[in-house]
């Protein structure tokens, strides 16, 4: 369903004579989506020359590392597609200065993406996963990046992981035309139940700071969805 929606959105952009700008998610959940998108059944339905690939976040590792978000997308999606290399824009997580890498990606988005009326670079679609601690992209609980308002990309140290990350920030996430949250695995059921069924006036988790100007769609697998309370008639 997610893959088919992406096909539809990419083709709508082509019909209107404009590129389709998408930011990919990392982690294990999107891997199956990428494999499906790369399958002959769907891959031939998209004019990949008009698709520009970006990333929502990256780990501080080289592309060949097993933890690389770009490496995962390359293996399961990008290497299988007839997509021009100049259309693929990765974050450089392997450099020594991640703040500089974030600034370079910020500049790239400023130059390549269309802007909203308020001057924010705008994606057609951003894919996001969800962590058990409520993080999206690499916006973790307590991170100083959660309050960033001037930059579209930032680097931050994550104490819980003893690791650095580069991530899109809330302003650019919230100005995307569409956000797709992909959530899989029974371990995510508790956080989903809290966020969707027991909302609070004050955000407890980074995911609750998603207040998009555009559309927000949740895609839950059965392991997550079946633990939610059925809607009352």
Report the predicted TM-score, pTM, of the whole model to 2 decimal places.
0.96
Looking at per-residue pLDDT, the higher value among 145 and 230 belongs to 145
Contact of 14 with 231, CB cutoff 8 Å: no
Tell whether 39 is covered by a domain.
Answer: yes
Helix ranges, 16-131 (H) = 29-38, 40-43, 69-76, 98-112
Contact of 152 with 171, CB cutoff 8 Å: yes
Q: Is the pLDDT of residue 15 over 80?
A: yes
Tell whether 77 is covered by a domain.
Answer: yes
Tell whether 52 is covered by a domain.
Answer: yes
Contact of 160 with 149, CB cutoff 8 Å: no
Residue 198's pLDDT band (cuts 50, 70, 90)? confident
Residue 193, number of CB atoms within 10 A of its CB: 14
Tell me how far apart the alpha carbons of residues 32 and 208 are, in angstroms, rounded to a whole number: 25
What is the domain extent for residue 188? Answer: 2-225
Tell whether 231 is covered by a domain.
Answer: no
Whole-number CA gyration radius for the chain: 17
Tell me how far apart the alpha carbons of residues 127 and 97 are, in angstroms, rounded to a whole number: 26
Residue 233's pLDDT band (cuts 50, 70, 90)? low
Q: What is the mean pLDDT of residues 150-177?
A: 97
Residue 9, number of CB atoms within 10 A of its CB: 18
Tell me how far apart the alpha carbons of residues 183 and 24 are, in angstroms, rounded to a whole number: 14
CATH classification at residue 40:
3.40.50.1360
**Which percentage of the chain shows pLDDT scores above 90?**
86
Residue 147's pLDDT band (cuts 50, 70, 90)? very high
Tell whether 233 is covered by a domain.
Answer: no
Q: And the tokens for 205?
A: 């988790």
pLDDT given for residue 231 in this prediction: 61
User: How many domains is the chain built from?
Assistant: 1
Q: How many CA atoms lie within 13 A of 82 on its CB side?
A: 9
Sign of the CA dihedral running 133, 137, 140, 141:
negative
Q: Is the pLDDT of residue 177 over 90?
A: yes
Tell whether 157 is covered by a domain.
Answer: yes
């Amino acid at each position: 369903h997610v893959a088919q929606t992406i096909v539809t959105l990419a083709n709508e952009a082509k019909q209107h004579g404009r590129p389709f700008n998408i930011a990919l998610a990392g982690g294990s959940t999107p891997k199956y989506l990428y494999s499906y998108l790369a399958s002959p059944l769907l891959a031939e339905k998209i004019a990949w020359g008009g698709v520009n690939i970006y990333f929502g976040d990256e780990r501080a590792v080289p592309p060949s590392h097993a933890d690389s978000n770009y490496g995962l997308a390359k293996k399961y999606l990008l290497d299988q597609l007839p997509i021009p290399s100049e259309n693929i824009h990765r974050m450089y997580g392997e450099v020594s200065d991640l703040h500089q890498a974030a600034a370079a990606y910020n500049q790239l988005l400023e130059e390549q993406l269309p802007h909203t009326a308020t001057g924010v670079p705008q994606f057609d679609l951003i894919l996001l996963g969800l962590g058990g601690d409520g993080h999206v992209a690499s916006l973790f609980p307590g991170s100083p990046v959660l309050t960033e308002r001037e930059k579209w990309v930032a680097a931050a140290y994550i104490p819980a992981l003893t690791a650095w990350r580069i991530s899109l920030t809330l302003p650019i996430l919230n100005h995307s035309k569409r956000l797709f949250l992909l959530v899989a695995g029974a371990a995510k059921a508790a956080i989903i139940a809290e966020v969707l069924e027991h909302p609070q006036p004050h955000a407890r988790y980074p995911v609750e700071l998603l207040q998009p100007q555009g559309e927000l769609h949740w895609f839950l697998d059965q392991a997550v969805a079946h633990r939610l309370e059925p809607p009352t008639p």
